[in-house]
């Protein structure tokens, strides 16, 4: 048995003998049977154990892949998305996360905990409202640029879903029923993975070429490519699964629900980390290095030490006053301890090993994969959020460049290593 290419004959109304087909099926590959070579036992060399003719599986994948490429060439919108979606999303991420005034300069002096000293804040002209940098990547802390980076691969996944849904519901799938089903799926998967490879390379080149954005300038090209490519592949697999469901039901309402769910899922990690992001208590009242919640899309250096700015007025008209800065500690406890209400007597009876005082790091996107919400494990964008959180966190302090050797390290190790590099420890 051999594979041959033929052009579908059409009647005057534009219909093929197998029904009306769109322009993408000008070339359909059919299986034609030729006289087989007879073996010594009278069985065809290409005949399988059931007596049926069988074309080699890899040959089927090859021919079906060519058919798929020709079909995509007739769909320019889908093809454009499959090639350039990451490039466009990286540009939008650059617009949202670039340094507002060009490359950021030196950070304020940092304490051993990686926090900004209160004395520096108090020395500002208007310490109550002055903005001061606490990291080189502060524009990324809210998560918007990170979500924009994942939006391109998400749109690409939606495009793949639509292509496969139409393929399953069209006559083409039935006309190729002589081909092995696994060969059909593999041929589409191979084409989409190859396009994802090109898509990720173009997006990575764009990222390293864009100016005035510290995080892109401080990360290895291969790291950006790897994150984008693996996100693409994960979304390709998810699109295959979802299209199989939708292709079976063939419901427009279900398709709309799936597309909406894919878009919401892409934004869910950003929403989760930004809504739980902690903030300092404000200048003048036990400021600043202490806050509750997470660090946002990447970790935040913090300390239990806080200060209070005291003004002592000897006269009501303010002609004579004194100023002092008082420091105190705000001990923290474990998550389990914080969820158990304690009376005053119970709090006073707590032992030293039940609470903590000193330097600590507020977790970033790594809090997603916990026992609180198991569905995060099924959302590809959550893995990208955690990985990119490590990149943004490690490069948040000056002089740190993220490379392959850091890819396998935990957020805890990277946060300590980044701080040691800056402090010279």
Q: Where are the domains of the chain?
A: 73-284+362-423
CA angle 57, 61, 67 (to 5 degrees): 145
Q: Where are the alpha helices (DSSP H) in 170-220?
A: 171-175, 181-209, 214-217
Q: For strand 305-313 and strand 321-329, is the pairing parallel, antiparallel, or unpaired?
A: antiparallel
Furthest-apart CA pair in the chain: how many Å? 116
Say what the pLDDT of residue 349 is: 77
Let me know: does 303 contact 113? Beta carbons within 8 Å.
yes
Q: Which residues sit opposite 324 in a β-bridge?
A: 310
Q: Angle, to 10 degrees, between the axis of helix 76-97 and the axis of helix 57-73?
A: 70
Structure token digits, residue 54? 């069988």
Mean pLDDT per 10-residue interval, the chain, length 425 residues: 43 41 41 39 47 72 92 95 97 87 63 82 62 80 93 96 86 65 91 97 96 91 96 96 80 89 92 71 44 77 76 54 68 68 75 79 81 80 94 91 92 92 78
CA dist 142 and 138 (Å) reads 8
Q: How many CB atoms lie within 10 A of CB 280?
A: 19
Least Cα distance to 235 among 25, 22, 340, 382 occurs for 382
Say what the pLDDT of residue 381 is: 94
Indicate the pTM of the whole model. 0.79
Say what the pLDDT of residue 3 is: 45
Residue recorded with tokens 């092995």: 180
Let me know: does 359 contact 114? Beta carbons within 8 Å.
yes
DSSP code for 11: -
Least Cα distance to 298 among 209, 400, 230 occurs for 400
Say what the pLDDT of residue 203 is: 97
Least Cα distance to 252 among 185, 165, 173, 174 occurs for 165
Least Cα distance to 297 among 375, 396, 230 occurs for 396
Burial classification of residue 133, based on how many CB atoms lie within 10 Å of its CB (0-12 exposed, 13-18 middle, 19 or more buried)? middle
Residue 295 neighbours by CB under 8 Å, 6+ apart = 141, 277, 278, 302, 361, 362, 363, 364, 393
CA dist 309 and 96 (Å) reads 35
For CA atoms 80, 83, 89, 91, give the dihedral sign. negative
Say what the pLDDT of residue 231 is: 97
Say what the pLDDT of residue 324 is: 64
């Amino acid at each position: 048995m051999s594979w041959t290419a033929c052009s579908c004959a059409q009647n005057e109304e534009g219909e093929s003998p197998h029904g009306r087909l769109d322009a993408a099926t000008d070339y359909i590959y059919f299986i034609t049977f030729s006289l087989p070579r007879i073996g010594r036992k009278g069985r065809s060399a290409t005949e399988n154990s059931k007596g049926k003719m069988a074309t080699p599986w890899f040959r089927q994948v090859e021919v079906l892949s060519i058919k798929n490429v020709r079909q995509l060439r007739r769909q320019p919108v889908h093809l454009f998305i499959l090639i350039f979606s990451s490039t466009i999303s990286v540009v939008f991420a650059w617009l949202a996360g670039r340094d507002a005034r060009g490359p950021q300069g030196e950070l304020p002096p940092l304490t051993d905990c990686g926090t900004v000293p209160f004395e520096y804040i108090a020395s500002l002209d208007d310490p109550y409202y002055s903005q001061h940098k606490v990291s080189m990547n502060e524009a990324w802390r809210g998560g918007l640029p990170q979500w924009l980076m994942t939006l391109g691969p998400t749109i690409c996944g939606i495009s793949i879903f639509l292509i496969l849904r139409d393929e399953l519901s069209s006559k083409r799938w039935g006309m190729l029923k002589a081909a092995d089903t696994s060969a059909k799926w593999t041929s589409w998967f191979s084409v989409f993975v190859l396009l994802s490879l090109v898509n990720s390379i173009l997006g990575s080149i764009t990222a390293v070429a864009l100016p005035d954005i510290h995080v892109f300038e401080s990360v290895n090209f291969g790291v950006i490519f790897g994150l984008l490519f693996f996100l693409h592949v994960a979304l390709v697999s998810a699109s295959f699964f979802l299209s199989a469901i939708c292709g079976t039901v063939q419901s427009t309402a279900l398709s709309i629900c799936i597309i909406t769910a894919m878009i919401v899922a892409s934004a869910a990690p950003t929403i989760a980390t930004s809504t739980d992001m902690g903030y300092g208590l404000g200048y003048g009242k036990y400021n600043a290095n202490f806050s509750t919640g997470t660090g946002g899309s990447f970790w935040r250096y913090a300390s239990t030490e806080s200060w209070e700015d005291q003004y002592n007025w000897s006269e009501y008209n303010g002609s004579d006053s004194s100023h002092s800065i008082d420091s105190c500690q705000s001990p923290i406890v474990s998550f389990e301890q914080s969820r158990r209400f304690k009376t005053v007597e119970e709090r006073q009876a707590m032992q030293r090993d039940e609470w903590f005082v000193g330097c600590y790091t507020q977790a970033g996107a790594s809090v997603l994969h916990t026992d609180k919400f198991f569905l995060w494990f099924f959302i590809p964008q959550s893995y990208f959020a955690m990985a990119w959180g490590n990149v943004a966190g490690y490069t948040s302090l000056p002089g740190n460049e993220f490379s392959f050797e850091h890819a396998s390290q935990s957020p805890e190790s990277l946060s300590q290593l980044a701080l040691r590099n800056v402090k010279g420890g």
